[in-house]
Structure 1
């Protein structure tokens, strides 16, 4: 019998949630997704030592302030990781706009165009890239403009249906609901142990998927941030799932039968169509403590790793602690 991973690939597009080149070579996903945390890990690998040195040399040659130099080198490293991944997958690689731009629509748009241009300089066309944006109201507005400009966006840090609806109305190519982080919040808040089928993160993705399919929404639903294979199995049939190498390995070793759980034509009452303007969005987020807390926490975490990366670059450039922090 084929493994559960093989069975999953028959019904869902499997994406690797990693910047680990060796893992991508071994597991052969169609797409890859990265974030500042994964890029930070990737540049610590021997494979990227030469690219790190190249980026530092390039940065030193630019007529920039120390702060600008550090930022631009970090951008170059993120593109280096992404460009290597495009050589290994048939589909797309997601590259994230800086977390500290999460509440800056114009800044996010500018950074996204810079990302696409940097890939273009390496011979990677924009149809191989998804620009990742945090699903704040400002990030969603940036996605709306980018999609109109032909740049496809991956809306990350999705924690509730309000974000998913707003992203779809903006024409976002793809959303990434964070299953495991939703579960984390509810476990901490309630002290309850959840079975996979009642897992709040799983339930949230199923509701979003049903809403999208019921209303003919083309935006791709890609479940992310899994804590165990049970969550993944409950979402078998979802458009896409982005999965860590360790969980992909678990699925690959499991020879059991995998049942499809999600279908485009699902039974049950059709959910009501909702319009999500700024007022409705902000109120929905205000009323959802989990989504509000996890979105803010996710932005802080991504920014913390972004700052770690910049601190490492500043250190390698020989800048002092004060310059590294500025």
Structure 2
């Protein structure tokens, strides 16, 4: 048994890619996308047709030029999601434009638009996860969407208070970014000898996972953004792990033993009745310099890649 097969016995493995070839190769239950992965996929020859089809769709819908570009890029994301759904049995994550991350109402509006586009193609909303940045506004948008059976994946999660607020809002799933946390800390204090117990990204997920299980929260923890295989193995037993094709291949090529690192402690306590307020959230998140920097950086980068995708579409209009 290789490490990937062993890991799948204790954790749901998700492919972090927009490339159908990789998804077909690893046969995951779920898959995740983001603006960066979609942009990368659109440079592949076999996806060029998606751009043309999306432009045709946008022109048919009508509206002014700006709306046509937005409708075309939304269609690209949905069409790619549909292609992925045809290869998996579970859910695909589709991201809301990160430029909307500080507007609850616009996040909700975009989420409904994307869900409706999937449903128009015959796919039930139960198979879609709407990805939102874990800002206060994004979390509150997810809280409203979950009430209408629209499952949400709160991404760009770096601070513990983000995880607390997500659990209290009843969101379906969170994606703590292990690799980006590691990058920030390792730049300041490099690890001379790597061990997962000293990896701040891995330890962040351990803390969140144990807190959720001990307090009976149902929100799924899905570690994301891995740099090395050892980070993944340090989270064996986590609810889900979304992994890039490169690291999936490394796991697949090794037969070293995989040991469970996280254990589900069932409902030891009831969730606390003390809720994180908006001012609590902003203050506590603001105290974590790494989280502040990485959240804003992540929102900017996803926004830049969305703009690049829009330009790619505009150049073909």
Work out whether the TM-score is over 0.5.
yes
Write out aligned runs for 1:231-246 (5 A).
Answer: 231-246=231-246
Distance in 2 (CA, whole Å) between partners of 1:245 and 1:54 is: 27
Question: What is the alpha-carbon distance in structure 1 between the residues aligned to residue 55 and residue 181 of structure 2?
Answer: 38
- The 1-side partners of 2:46 and 2:271 are apart by 50
1:257-279 deviation per Cα after TM superposition (whole angstroms, max 9, x unaligned): 1000000129xx98995631111
Deviation larger for 271-280 or 246-255? 271-280
* 1:6 alignment partner in structure 2: 5
1:315: which partner in 2? Answer: 315
1:321 corresponds to: none
**Which is worse superposed, 307-316 or 184-193?**
184-193
Change (3 A) 1:271 1:157: farther
Secondary structure at the counterpart of residue 166 of structure 1: helix
For residues 127-166 of structure 1, the C-alpha deviation after alignment (integer angstroms, 9 at most, x for no partner) is 1000000000000000000001110000001102100010
- Compare 73-82 and 42-51 and name the one that shifted more: 42-51
Is structure 2 residue 214 aligned with structure 1 residue 230? no
2:36 partner SS: helix
SS in structure 2 of the partner of residue 61 of structure 1: helix
Equivalent positions of 1:205-284 (< 5 A) are 205-265=205-265, 273=272, 275-284=275-284
Residue 161 of structure 2: aligned partner: 162
Asked if the contact 1:105/1:138 (under 8 Å) is kept, the reply is yes
TM-score computed with the length of structure 1 as normaliser = 0.93
SS, match of residue 197 in structure 1: helix
The answer to whether the aligner puts 1:132 opposite 2:119 as a matched pair is no
Aligned length: 314
Match of 1:324 in 2: none
> In the alignment, which residue of structure 2 is the partner of 1:322?
none
User: Over aligned residue pairs, what C-alpha RMSD do you find?
Assistant: 1.6
1:94-135 deviation line (CA, Å, top 9, x unaligned): 000111000010000000000100001111110100000000
- The corresponding residue for 1:320 is none
Distance 2:292 2:49 in 1: 40
CA distance in 1, matches of 2:167, 2:211: 11
Aligned partners of 1:12 and 1:241 also within 8 Å? yes
CA distance in 1, matches of 2:275, 2:203: 22
Q: Give, in angstroms, the shift of residue 198 of structure 1.
A: 1.0
Do the aligned partners of 2:57 and 2:75 also contact (CA within 8 Å) in 1?
Answer: no
Structure-2 residue corresponding to 1:22: 21
Partner of 1:52: 51
User: Which consecutive aligned stretches of 4+ in structure 1 deviate over 6 angstroms post-superposition?
Assistant: 269-272
8 Å contact 2:20–2:84 — kept in the other structure? yes
8 Å contact from structure 1 (residues 42, 81) kept in 2: no
Shift of the alpha carbon at 1:72?
0.7
Question: Which ranges in structure 1 are unaligned for 5 or more consecutive residues?
Answer: 318-326
Corresponding residue for 2:287?
287
Instruction: Provide, for residues 188-207 of structure 1, a one-character-per-residue CA deviation record: whole Å limited to 9, x for no partner.
Output: 12244442221000000000
Offset at 1:252?
A: 0.5
* Mapping 1:67-216, distance limit 5 Å: 67-193=66-192, 194-216=194-216
| Aligned-pair CA distance for 1:51 | 2.0
Conserved 8 A contact 1:59-1:73: yes
Q: Secondary structure at the match of 2:156?
A: strand
**Deviation at residue 43 of structure 1 after TM alignment:** 1.8
Change (3 A) 1:240 1:107: same
- Give the deviation of 1:75 after TM superposition: 0.3
Which has the higher mean CA deviation after the structures are superposed, 206-215 or 54-63? 54-63
Q: Cα offset for 1:76?
A: 0.3
